[in-house]
Amino acid sequence: MSGLAQASVAPAAAEVTAGGDDQRPTRRSWTAYLLLLPGALWLGVFFVLPLVQLATVSLQSRFPGFPGYYYRDVNFQNYVSALTDYGPHFLRSFVYAGLATFLAFVVAYPLAYAMAFKAGKWRNLMMICVVAPFFTSFILRTFAWSQILADEGWVAGILNFLHLLPSGHIINTPLAVVAGLTYNFLPFMVLPIYASLERADPRVIEAGGDLYADGFTTFRTVTLPMSMPGVLAGTLLTFIPAAGDFVNMELLGPQRGKMVGNVINDQFLAIPGGYPVAAALSFTLMAAILVMVFLYVRRFGTEELV
């Protein structure tokens, strides 16, 4: 919101100031390029260039008669086979990541709310508690979930006692994958929501109560809209890594019915000559995510994302 306002005000301001002081803006912009150059070069060489290379690989063609060999070409067949052979994998990735994002939002909001408005002097301690678990390696924690959710574990025990599990298992089911994804990216949801709630004035929320709105109405019409930039950033920071993840599926999920991340990883690292199709899969994943991000930001958006 404020970012958009700034963006539209800045050019006007530039015109106004440029009249009085000709020399300053040019000198200043040269300094800006010098400051920007090393980082931009790094991103150019190790982000943009690799993506260009990946794009050319995704268009290579198969050498007839030589399995695993490819030559440079502009061939969209890899994209066709990526979508037809691995459509279900894409669908699973987006559904599981979407569910995990929603669950993470439900779990994260009360915590972020309590940190912003109720914690008082405990605020810093709670902040440390949110980040601290993530200093234990994320693979170790995911592995710990495979112990917690194991058939002999207490979670499966309780749920089976209540007859809530149709198959009798959690581990090696999509449910365990969604649970792992929800857990692993939770701080990325908590911290942006907390940051935007912290900036909000609690008196505005109290005013909702004073005007006889019940708790839910106050939340829906006052609190939630005020935290929207944080919710937006949080959902993106959760959904994007979750959609590309393969570790949770590998450690917690079933043997069959993998996500697109598993396919890309296996094609690149385990299957010789799998590069072109895997590159096409990577690009399709990235394009799908960028389009979704764009539409999502357009729909709910603010300029300042993070």
Q: Which of residues 210-269 bind other proteins (CB under 8 A)?
A: 215, 236-237, 240-241, 243-247, 251, 261, 264-265, 268-269
Q: Is 49 in the site for other proteins (CB under 8 A)?
A: yes
Q: How far is the CB of 52 from other proteins (least distance, A)?
A: 8
| Shortest Å, Cβ 240 to other proteins | 6
The yes or no reply on residue 286 touching other proteins (CB under 8 A) is: yes
The answer to whether 141 and 183 are in contact (CB under 8 A) is yes
Rule CB under 8 A: say whether 83 interacts with other proteins.
Answer: no
d(CA 85, CA 264): 13
Q: How far is the CB of 144 from other proteins (least distance, A)?
A: 4
Task: Give the C-alpha distances (Å, rounded to integers) separating 187 from 128, 192, 236, 251.
Answer: 11, 9, 12, 21
Spatial neighbors of 3 by CB under 8 A, at least 6 apart, are 302, 303, 304
Does residue number 144 form part of the binding site for other proteins (CB under 8 A)? Answer: yes
Distance between CA 164 and CA 48 in Å, rounded?
A: 48
A 10 A CB-CB count for 145 gives: 21
Q: Judge contact between 194 and 258, C-beta under 8 A.
A: no
Subset of 91-110 contacting other proteins (CB under 8 A)? 107-108, 110
Q: Name the residue nearer to other proteins (CB basis): 170 or 247.
A: 247
Q: Which stretch binds other proteins (CB under 8 A): 37-45, 61-69, 80-88, 158-166?
A: 37-45
Please, what is the minimum distance in Å from the beta carbon of residue 15 to other proteins? Answer: 11
**Residue placing its CB nearer to other proteins in the complex, 19 or 166:** 19
Nearest in space to 192 (alpha carbons), one of 96, 304, 289, 295:
304
Q: Which residues contact 232 (CB under 8 A, 6 or more apart)?
A: 192, 296, 297, 300, 301, 302, 305
Token duo for residue 239: 């959904």
User: Would you say 51 or 80 has its CB closer to other proteins?
Assistant: 51
Site residues for other proteins, 50-69, by CB under 8 A, read 50-51, 53-54, 57
132 in contact with other proteins (CB under 8 A): yes
Tokens representing 237 are: 């920071």
Select from 29-37, 73-81, 83-91, 162-170 the region that touches other proteins (CB under 8 A): 29-37
Cβ-based neighbours of 248, under 8 Å, separated by 6 or more: 142, 177, 180, 181, 184
By CB under 8 A, tell whether 204 contacts other proteins.
Answer: no
The set of residues, in sequence order, having a beta carbon less than 8 Å from that of 257 and lying 6+ positions away, is 88, 92, 174
Contact between 111 and other proteins per CB under 8 A: yes
Q: Is 33 in the site for other proteins (CB under 8 A)?
A: yes
CB 284 within 8 A of CB 176: no
* Residue 86 found at the interface with other proteins (CB under 8 A): no
x/- site string to other proteins, residues 163 to 192, per CB under 8 A?
--------------------x--x------
